[in-house]
Chain A
């Protein structure tokens, strides 16, 4: 039962262009959504989050959009930089269920110079 899905295993983007990473979920109890970036042999690094009461949150080059009716969220990176190349994980949690994170499978982003 995959409650959080990232259907694109990989994404390749040219430096300076926009990267859009997508994530779908099934559990309507989720009220908090996060994006993490992960390099090999390191732990996930928190990037940005959004509460279910909002539909957009922006932090510098990173913006997360939430569409609750479609149970879909996306991460936009503008402009993309080669240092953004990493695996990006979408995660969701429900405060009523203890706040444990449910992760997607990850999308490997490659930003080419």
Chain B
């Protein structure tokens, strides 16, 4: 999974705290996707961003979750007032998307979020 960098790899928070997950896409990629994997489940889409724009947030919970991909710096997934159910592995993927064709998404190694 060289190229897409996620940090931290592990994050422990107490209920009610905030969690910030960071993702730097592969060099040359301007499209970022966030996915969540709950225990014993497959990956579920959360949000798709390009630089300074949220393109599709149909998979994001309506409250407490937000994402950004600023002009400079990594993409951030922010979870406010965390609850136990937020415990999961959060994966970021990037692609070099051409509007006329599909390109594979490449994933980072994820951030494992644990809520105490």
- Chain A contact residues, CB within 8 Å of chain B: 31-32, 34, 36, 41-46, 49, 51, 89, 93, 95, 97-106
Contacts and interface: CB of A to CB of B under 8 A. Distances in A.
Given A43-B4, A43-B93, A103-B42, 7 more contacts: A34-B104, A46-B107, A99-B102, A100-B56, A100-B58, A101-B35, A106-B42
27 contacts: A31-B102, A34-B105, A41-B109, A41-B112, A42-B1, A42-B110, A43-B4, A43-B6, A43-B91, A43-B109, A43-B110, A44-B43, A44-B91, A49-B102, A51-B102, A89-B43, A95-B101, A99-B48, A99-B97, A100-B33, A100-B45, A100-B56, A100-B58, A101-B35, A101-B45, A102-B45, A103-B44
If over half of B's interface residues share one DSSP class (helix, strand or loop), that class is named, otherwise mixed; here it is strand
Nearest to B107: A43
Contacts of B109: 41-43
Contacts, number: 67
B11 interface: no
Interface residues of B, number: 30
B95 interface: yes
B91 to A, nearest CB: 5
Contacts of B4: 43
Interface in B25-40: 31, 33, 35
A103 B105 contact: no
A73 B102 CA distance: 18
B108 A100 contact: no
B59 to A, nearest CB: 7
B13 interface: no
B102 A103 contact: no
Interface of B: 1, 4, 6, 31, 33, 35, 41-45, 48, 55-56, 58-59, 91, 93, 95, 97, 101-102, 104-110, 112
A100 B107 contact: no
Given A32-B102, A41-B109, A45-B107, A100 B59 contact: yes
Nearest to B99: A95
Nearest to B47: A100
